[in-house]
Amino acid sequence: MDKNTLIGLLLMGLVIFGFTWLNKPSEAELAERQRQMDSIAALQEADKHRDISAGDVDTLSSDELAHLKSVLQSMPAENAAINNEGVVLSLKDGNVTGTVTVGDTTVTWDEVESSTSKNPAVHNLAIQAVQKALDVYAKNGSFANSLTGSEEMVTIENDSLKVELSTKGGIISRATLKGYKTYKTPQLVLFDKGDNEYSFTLSNNTQRFETKNFYFTPKKINDSTVLMNLQLEGGAQWGLKYTLVPGSYMVRMEMVQQSMSRVIPLNINMVDLDWHQKISRHEFGKQFEERNSAIYYKYAGKDGDVDNTSENGNDEDEVKDKLKWVSAKNQFFSTVLIADSVFSTAKMTSVSIDNSSPDYEKYTKDVKIHTMIPYSSDKPNVASFYFFLGPNRYHLLSSYDKYSPKEDLKLTRLIPLGWWLFRVINTGVIIPVFDWLGKFISSYGIIILVLTIIIKLVLWPLTYKSYVSQAKMRILAPDIAKINEQYPNQEDALKKQQKTMELYRQAGASPMGGCLPMMLQMPILIAMFTFFPSCIELRGQSFLWANDLSAPDKVYEWGAQIPIISSLFGNHLSLFCLLMTVTNIIYTYLTTKSQPSSQSMPGMKWMMYLMPLMFLFWFNNYASGLSYYYFLSLLITIIQTYISRLFVTEDKVRAAIAANSAKPKKKSKWMARLEEAQKLQQQQQRANAKRKR
């Protein structure tokens, strides 16, 4: 072994020794650990010699009684009590007093301590409850004193948001959005007590401490800031400080601590975070709201994308990469937890509420998120977050990018506006025009009407060109039929195609002339399909018979469940959807009438009539504002068709075809390639004929 190796081993040994010495527990910590081990050992030893049959009366051992008094004596005077799952015990003049509740029966401490009982079975269960409570306190070490207390609610609010904090777990227990209401209540509670729970899990080398089990001491610093604090042994403190940002839907949550290295060793560098929320139902259209509820999350980094669990049914995602934010997202409202740093990996589960569950009408999804955050016990401010508790309003979400100056939060992706192209159309055109109209028009039904007229006027040149092309194809249909009769054989297919294309070229027509303009309109139609169900501005806005343009306009309902049909169509009839369907059938009739008949595909016409009926089933559960838009769009298209007929008569089209035929034509590259292909085919045919001879 050479000199360098020896020096290296010596240095490594010194480093290990130094690290061990620096992290060695104090005498107080050693004493606390020994006390916990002795307590657990005493409980385990007592279990070995205990007979808890229904006929014998069990009693606490002397070690257990001593441990019980030791736990009560170690608690602060103002909170010297055990309160755990029916066990409520305290010290009075050095003696244990209190009750133990087992099922519907409450047993006093004197009865628990007695060696005789009229009901041995209940007595023994009470003994087990006390032993379990002692075990819980033994396992929670320095946090044990915070296991008891009474739950209190502390409120902070601004003009937009009211937040209620619970001392049990130190969490945001209830959030109320001002200025919003649900389909059946005058105020909108984003989540109520018991519906939103989250817990940090701190750990040392032998124990895990879940903050949901502890009672925090609240301290209201000012009207918008509250500190939820845990006072631990040895002067250590751990808490969550909440600050409601004025005039916003943002709540700042900071993890603050003091002297926590006495409780949590420095080698612990991660803290678990478990978040569970039952996403509340707020909308009249429950089925569609459920299809728009899921867990959304953004990957960390400037280019981090936004992803989500499936919105249909149950789903589970496990992400190994770092995340910037996670969200329990509903159709129009979201709870988003944004980290100042990152979340390190996450496991997310989204479960639909079964229609047989008593919670079916109250919630849309049950979501759980488990993740981890970086931690260090020697830092006073170890982690910070923002809770967004508010509406999925595009401009509002966009304005919150300022809370992350180094990274685009992309919170607007909580609004499902479709794929890239459709999203660009919505954010670049539709939303700005919609907002601009909202400055002058108060009725959103009228805004949709004006928006539809603007869109149809912009697309009018394409619609007109499509109609002209269809008129030309209808007039050329007899000539096309003659060409088909002239070249009936398969070997003449190329020549038939050449003659057909030559006819189109002379007439200035194209078989794609009618389809292409319509295809260019499709992105706008699809963009509107994603826009209206996501437009929170329509929420609660009535128009004509529709009480809410963001929900189905039910004009008739029935209670019977029809297999398959009820799951697709629902148990109601939407009038705007029905009007859209009827208008679509009329438009289909006009379209098929203006097109040349095709004997080769006689069933195609029936297929075209079948599509509007399919839309009836599809759109019956969608927002009435969407059906209203499509109804207007089809109605205006029909009007444009009749206007086009005034300007595009058969005589004018024939004259245009004749004039175009008289013009000298430059052979197109397509036609040149077609003729070249025909020559090669003819040469091949002649060569094949010679070989057969």
- CATH number where 250 lies: 2.70.98.90
pTM of the full predicted structure?
0.74
DSSP assignments along 377-429, one per residue: TT-SEEEEEEEEEEE--HHHHHHGGGG-TTS---GGGGS---SHHHHHHIIII
DSSP-H helix ranges across 208-354: 286-290
Band of residue 508 on the pLDDT scale cut at 50, 70, 90:
low
Helices 604-619 and 624-647, packing angle to 10 deg: 150
Euclidean distance between CA atoms 266 and 21, whole angstroms: 12
The verdict on 165 and 133 lying in the same domain is no
Same domain, 372 and 446: no
Is residue 383 within 8 A of residue 402, CB to CB? The reply is no
pLDDT at 559: 64
Q: Is the pLDDT of residue 354 over 90?
A: no
Q: Which residue segment(s) compose the domain that 348 sits in? A: 153-416
Does residue 119 lie within any of the structural domains? yes
Indicate whether 241 and 159 sit together in one domain. yes
Q: Are 56 and 203 members of one domain?
A: no
* CA-to-CA dists, residue 204 to 68, 262, 603, angstroms: 24, 10, 73
Q: Averaged over 618-625, what is the pLDDT?
A: 83
Total tally of structural domains belonging to the chain: 3
Looking at the domain assignment, is residue 682 inside a domain? no
Alpha-carbon 275 to chain mean position? 14
Say whether both 406 and 457 belong to one domain: no
Question: What's the confidence (pLDDT) of residue 155?
Answer: 94
Clarify whether residues 43 and 95 are in a common domain. Answer: yes
Does residue 519 share a domain with residue 390? no
| Pairwise CA distance, residues 451 & 445, whole Å | 10
C-alpha closest to that of 539 among 391, 408, 337, 325: 391
CA distance 446 to 453: 11
> Is residue 593 in some structural domain?
no
Q: Token pair of 213, please?
A: 């089990």
Residue 281 and residue 292: Cα distance in Å, rounded? 11
Of the candidates 424, 433, 428, the one whose C-alpha atom is nearest the C-alpha of residue 452 is 433
What is the distance between the alpha carbons of residues 298 and 326, in angstroms, rounded to a whole number?
Answer: 7
pLDDT digit string (tens) for 526-552?
A: 888 889 888 899 988 889 998 888 888
CA pair distance 18, 7, nearest whole angstrom: 16
Residue 403: partners with Cβ closer than 8 Å, 6 or more residues away: 250, 338, 386, 409
Comparing 21-25, 183-187, 437-441, which segment has the lowest mean pLDDT? Answer: 21-25
Query: What is the pLDDT confidence band of residue 145, given thresholds at 50, 70 and 90?
Result: confident
- Look up residue 199 and give its two tokens: 């817990």
What contacts 684, CB < 8 A, 6 or more positions away? none
> Highest mean pLDDT: which of 162-166, 491-495, 672-676?
162-166
pLDDT tens for residues 385-402? 999 999 999 999 999 988
Residue 43 — pLDDT band, cuts 50, 70, 90?
very low
The answer as to whether 9 is a domain residue is: no
Range from 35-44, 407-416, 571-580 carrying the lowest mean pLDDT: 35-44
Do 116 and 65 lie in one domain? The reply is: yes
Task: Please check whether residues 400 and 505 belong to one and the same domain.
Answer: no
3-class secondary structure, 257: strand
Residue 568 lies in a domain: no
The answer to whether position 565 is within a domain reads no
Helix (H, G, I), strand (E, B), or coil: what is residue 178? coil
Show which of 139, 164, 185 is a domain's final residue.
139
Residue where one domain finishes, among candidates 108, 139, 170: 139
Helix (H) or strand (E) holding 228: strand 225-231
User: Would you state the pLDDT for residue 592?
Assistant: 73
Residue 99 has pLDDT above 50, yes or no: yes
Q: How far apart are the first and last CA of the chain?
A: 94
List all residues 6 or more positions away from 102 whose beta carbon is below 8 Å from its beta carbon: 86, 122, 125, 126, 129
Distance separating alpha carbons of residues 514 and 366, to the nearest angstrom? 48
Same domain, 410 and 445: no
Confidence of residue 61 (pLDDT cuts 50, 70, 90): confident
Co-location of 332 and 376 in the same domain: yes
| 433 found inside a domain | yes
Quick check: 286 and 275 in contact, CB under 8 A?
no
- Write the CB contacts of 33 (distance below 8 Å, at least 6 apart in sequence): 25, 141, 206
Would you call 523 exposed, middle or buried from its count of C-beta atoms within 10 A (0-12, 13-18, 19+)?
middle
487 in any annotated domain:
yes
Q: How many H helices and E strands in the chain?
A: 19, 23
Co-location of 384 and 402 in the same domain: yes
